[in-house]
């Protein structure tokens, strides 16, 4: 039996979220563990209670809404995502997966359906990592990737610890409330890329998450006066870094599927009339094949050192935070594909470039993801957009996937 959600109710949930932490440009600023996040959490918990779900909060601030099944003490079918955003974020990233999950629960209530396995909807804390870095702390905590001491000690830019912020908004729950036995986990998300939109495909059946390596580059030249130092005598660290960034980008032309980004540069002394003497930047390198990512990193390192010699500067290149490609579970992938086909939605297999809570959940239970279109591939941006019809399609696929997974 193929079911469909209550579209009006679901879109009302999405509209309600869009008003909490709203920016002037139709986006959201709802950094984790802020007052805006607290308001959204309070609202979410009220909605969970209205859906007759058993609500609990764990010691990382993760929020759970549980619906019992026929089988006593059985592992749960878990689904969800996150409600925190970037400082100038969109209205759909993460939020879709949580509020579509809420609508799944309400639709099952509407039809009086009792699943074999219990269901748990989860809002994970600090997926974005915009306030507390690294990201995925809530999911990483319950799956054992990070220790409690590490998570509690992470500080934001104002030297406030995660534990202090969690306590301040009243969401430091109990360790005994953590996620326990999970039969499978599924996460609905916007693609945050252009493939589905460009190809006009309804549903992306996510095969896995691309591997990532952050390459840390430090360039050392000599600080000098902009008017006094002749061009041929300069050791300009920023000029060398600029050529290095261009060179890293050019490697993407040689290796298909490679994604390279430099989004942050620290320039010293960063004064208008002073030749920069020191520059640090990070190259974000992603590919869905680990061997190609490793090859790309080595090519980048070689290019950095070569350009340092050409510009008469010193260069240090090291591998920083990284993770291998995360393959998703074939059975859960199959259930997603079958659900989409039963609804007559077009599908294609895709890989996720961004990381998600599903990345860490895949180490804990069989996991996969559902993607829907991002208009023009724009995300982490106030102009982020997924059309209502695509939000609804994603929620319908989530509903029917959960129903399949929850059968004995």
Query: Is 305 annotated in some ligand binding site?
Result: no
Query: Is 128 annotated in some ligand binding site?
Result: yes
Question: What DSSP state is assigned to residue 115?
Answer: -
Q: What is the DSSP string of 358-406?
A: HHHHTTTS-EEEEEE--GGG--SSTT----HHHHHHHHHHHHHHHHHHT
C-alpha distances out from residue 62 to 32, 38, 84, 234, Å:
11, 12, 11, 53
Q: How many residues are present in the chain?
A: 408
Query: Is 93 annotated in some ligand binding site?
Result: yes
Tell me the three state secondary structure of residue 400: helix
278-287 vs 259-268, strand pairing mode = antiparallel
Which run of H or of E encompasses 291? Answer: helix 290-310
Query: Is 273 annotated in some ligand binding site?
Result: yes
Query: Is 9 annotated in some ligand binding site?
Result: no
Q: Which residues touch 65 (CB under 8 Å, ≥6 apart)?
A: 48, 51, 53, 54, 55, 102, 105, 120, 121
- Residue 263 dihedral angles phi and psi, to the nearest 5°: -110, -5
* 320 close to 133: Cβ distance less than 8 angstroms: no
Query: Is 218 annotated in some ligand binding site?
Result: no
Query: Is 189 annotated in some ligand binding site?
Result: yes
Query: Is 39 annotated in some ligand binding site?
Result: no
Q: What is the DSSP string of 308-323?
A: HHHTT-EEEEEEEEEE
Write out the binding residues for Zn(2+). Answer: 82, 93, 128, 189, 380
Write out the binding residues for allantoate. Answer: 214, 273, 286
Write out the binding residues. Answer: 82, 93, 128, 189, 214, 273, 286, 380
């Amino acid at each position: 039996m193929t079911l469909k959600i209550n579209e009006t109710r679901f879109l009302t949930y999405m509209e309600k979220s869009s008003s909490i932490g709203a920016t002037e440009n139709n986006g959201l600023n709802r950094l984790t563990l802020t007052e805006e996040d607290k308001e959204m959490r309070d609202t979410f918990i009220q909605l969970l209670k209205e859906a007759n779900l058993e609500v609990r909060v764990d010691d990382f601030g993760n929020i759970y809404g549980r619906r019992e099944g026929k089988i006593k003490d059985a592992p749960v079918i878990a689904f969800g995502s996150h409600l925190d955003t970037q400082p100038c974020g969109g209205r759909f990233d993460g939020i879709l997966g949580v509020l579509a999950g809420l609508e799944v629960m309400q639709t099952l209530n509407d039809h009086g359906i009792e699943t074999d396995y219990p269901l748990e909807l989860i809002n994970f804390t600090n997926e974005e990592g915009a306030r507390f870095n690294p990201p995925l702390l809530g999911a990483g905590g319950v799956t054992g990737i990070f220790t409690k001491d590490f998570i509690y000690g992470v500080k934001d830019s104002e030297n406030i610890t995660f534990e202090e912020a969690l306590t301040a908004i009243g969401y430091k729950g109990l360790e005994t409330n953590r996620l326990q036995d999970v039969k499978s986990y599924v996460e609905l998300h916007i693609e945050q890329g252009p493939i589905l939109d460009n190809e006009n495909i309804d549903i992306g059946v996510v095969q896995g998450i691309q591997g990532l390596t952050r390459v840390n580059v430090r360039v050392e030249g000599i600080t000098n006066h902009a008017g006094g130092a002749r061009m041929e005598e300069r050791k300009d660290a920023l000029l060398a870094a600029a050529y290095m960034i261009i060179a890293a980008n050019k490697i993407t032309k040689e290796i298909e599927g490679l994604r390279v980004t430099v989004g942050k540069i620290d320039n010293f002394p960063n004064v208008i009339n002073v030749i920069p003497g020191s520059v640090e930047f990070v190259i974000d390198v992603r590919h869905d094949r680990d061997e190609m990512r490793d090859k790309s990193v080595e090519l980048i390192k070689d290019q950095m050192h070569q350009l340092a010699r050409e510009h008469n500067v010193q260069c240090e290149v090291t591998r920083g935070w990284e993770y291998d490609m995360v393959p998703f579970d074939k059975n859960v992938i199959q259930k997603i594909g079958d659900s989409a086909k039963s609804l007559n939605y077009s599908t294609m297999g895709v890989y996720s470039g961004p990381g998600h809570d599903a990345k860490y959940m895949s180490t804990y239970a069989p996991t996969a993801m559902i993607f829907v279109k991002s208009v023009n591939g724009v995300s982490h941006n106030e102009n982020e957009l997924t059309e209502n019809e695509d939000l609804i399609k994603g929620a319908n696929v989530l509903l029917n996937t959960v129903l399949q997974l929850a059968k004995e």
